[in-house]
Every structure is written in C-alpha cells, then in structure tokens.
C-alpha cells in the first residue's frame, strides 16, 4: 500500500499538520483516528517506510508541523530518519511512537530533541495529552515576541508536579490522594513481579479503575514503568513496576 495523503481543503489554516510514519497500517489508522478526535490537528499523510516519508516530505513539508515516527521501519532505522528530519526540516517537531523501550534508543531520541516519546500500545489519553501540550506550546510561542522565564515555564509545562520549597514531598494533581498513592507504591515494592492493574487493585483493596489511575500517574512522573504482557486469555495487558525514586511521593516525604 503506497503512502497516503489527506485531501486538501476542509481543515482550518490554523490546524497543525501531522505526518504519521508507521509501517503497520492498522496502528497508523488508530493514530489517525486519535488525532482526528483532537481539535486543531489534521493528518497530512501516512507513510509506511522511509522512502514514502521522504516522498511526502518533498511535496508537503510546508504543511507538516509534527511527525509521529516509529523506530522500526522496513528500509531505514527510525533514529536515522530522526536525524535526517532534524537536519532538513527544522520547523517540524518529532514524536517517537514506538515499541522500542531500550534505554539507548530512548537516550538517542532525547538527544535528537524529540518533543515526546510514546511507547506502544499508545493510550488515547496519552496521545491527547501530547497533542494538547504541542498545541499549547506552539500557540504560546507564536503569540509573543518575548517571554519571561515564568511565562516560558508555564507555557512549556516543563515543571512536573511541583516540589515544595524544601524539596520534600510533591504536590499531587486532582484525583490522586497521597495515602492511596503510598499504598499503591508499597504494593509495587512488595511484588515479586510487575503487577497488572487488577493485581494492584486486589493488593490495595480498590477498584481496577482506581488502581490503574494511580499506576498511570506513577508512570507519568517516571516512578513506575509499564510493560506489555499477555494474560491467561492471550490479550495484551499493561504490567507495572517501580523504576524510579519513590521517596518524594511518600506520605512522610
């Protein structure tokens, strides 16, 4: 199947154009659907290889502000294409959307200045979060000639949940209770293997949705990591384990 290009017309000129570079057309279509549900974005095209991506960029580079890039492509390493994009298309931001979890791959992508790094399977809420942050940053940077440090920090949302002035425990977002968070952390600490949301729910005596909310919060602040596993019926499910320092998030700080 050749690279696909969205028909011209329709979206507002203020919409941000996205190029999806993904060799699995089913995943590409899922990402397209997620993007089309987010206001202010349109998919300019979809490419299944480096060659197709270069062809689309040659014709539509001016329409593209964001590239979703897989690390595994049939004719080129995604990271090689990342550096090529960085060299030839400085106006574009790049988000890695890939199953690659190796630290070396992640580190090189970060050195390459990726806007974000999403690990497959990508959840709709995480994709929406990334797109909202992209729109907010682009809008803020386009609206002013100069910015103060405070305005820049707020626009870029580079501050994780705020540390207190003493550097102790951190402020929690709405919907995350510290006592419950501590219980979830202790359950992960006491587990011999990575836990599913259901296993964590049983361990803390809460619903699966509650456990999942706290587990995903820990992933978002890089205290926990999520990996894809398979349950008894063969369906993929996320499993969580601690990967970072839990001290700032515990009740006693």
Structure confidence by residue, pLDDT tens digits, 41-80: 999 999 999 999 999 999 999 999 999 999 999 999 999 9
Residue 169 lies in a domain: no
Its pTM stands at 0.60
pLDDT at residue number 141: 77
The total number of structural domains in the chain stands at 2
Question: Domain check: are 116 and 212 in the same one?
Answer: no
Residue 43 lies in a domain: yes
Question: Domain check: are 63 and 185 in the same one?
Answer: no
* Among 123, 143, 163, residue at a domain's last position: 143
Residue 72 lies in a domain: yes
Is it the case that residue 112 has pLDDT exceeding 80? Answer: yes
4 phi, psi to nearest 5 deg: -115, 145
pLDDT at residue number 157: 55
What range does the domain containing 240 cover? 178-249
The domain that contains 212 carries what CATH number? Answer: 1.10.10.10
Q: Give the CA radius of gyration of the chain.
A: 20
| Cα distance between residue 205 and residue 55, in whole Å | 54
The domain that contains 117 carries what CATH number? Answer: 3.40.50.2300
pLDDT at residue number 161: 44
Question: Domain check: are 67 and 118 in the same one?
Answer: yes
| Beta-sheet strand order (sheet of 41-47) | 4-5, 41-47, 16-21, 66-69, 93-98, 116-119
* Among 87, 121, 143, residue at a domain's last position: 143
């Amino acid at each position: 199947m050749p690279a696909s290009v969205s028909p011209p017309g329709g979206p507002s000129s203020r919409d941000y154009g996205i190029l999806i570079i993904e060799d699995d057309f089913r995943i590409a279509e899922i990402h397209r659907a997620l993007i089309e549900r987010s206001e202010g974005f349109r998919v300019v095209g979809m490419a299944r290889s480096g060659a197709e991506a270069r062809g689309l960029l040659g014709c539509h580079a001016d329409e593209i502000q964001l590239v979703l890039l897989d690390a595994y492509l049939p004719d080129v390493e995604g990271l090689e294409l990342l550096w090529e994009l960085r060299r030839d298309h400085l106006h574009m931001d790049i988000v890695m959307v890939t199953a690659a979890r190796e630290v070396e791959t992640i580190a090189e992508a970060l050195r390459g200045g990726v806007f974000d790094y999403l690990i497959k399977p990508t959840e709709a809420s995480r994709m929406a979060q990334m797109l909202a942050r992209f729109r907010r940053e682009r809008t803020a940077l386009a609206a002013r000639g100069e910015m103060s440090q405070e305005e820049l920090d707020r626009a870029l949302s580079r501050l994780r949940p705020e540390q207190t002035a003493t550097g102790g425990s951190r402020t929690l977002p709405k919907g995350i209770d510290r006592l419950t968070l501590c219980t979830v952390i202790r359950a992960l600490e006491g587990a011999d293997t990575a836990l599913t949301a259901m296993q964590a729910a049983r361990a803390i005596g809460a619903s699966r949705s509650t456990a999942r909310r706290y587990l995903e919060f820990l992933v978002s602040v890089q205290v926990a990591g999520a990996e894809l596993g398979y349950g008894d019926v063969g369906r993929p499910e996320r499993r969580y384990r601690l990967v970072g320092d839990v001290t700032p998030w515990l009740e006693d700080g």
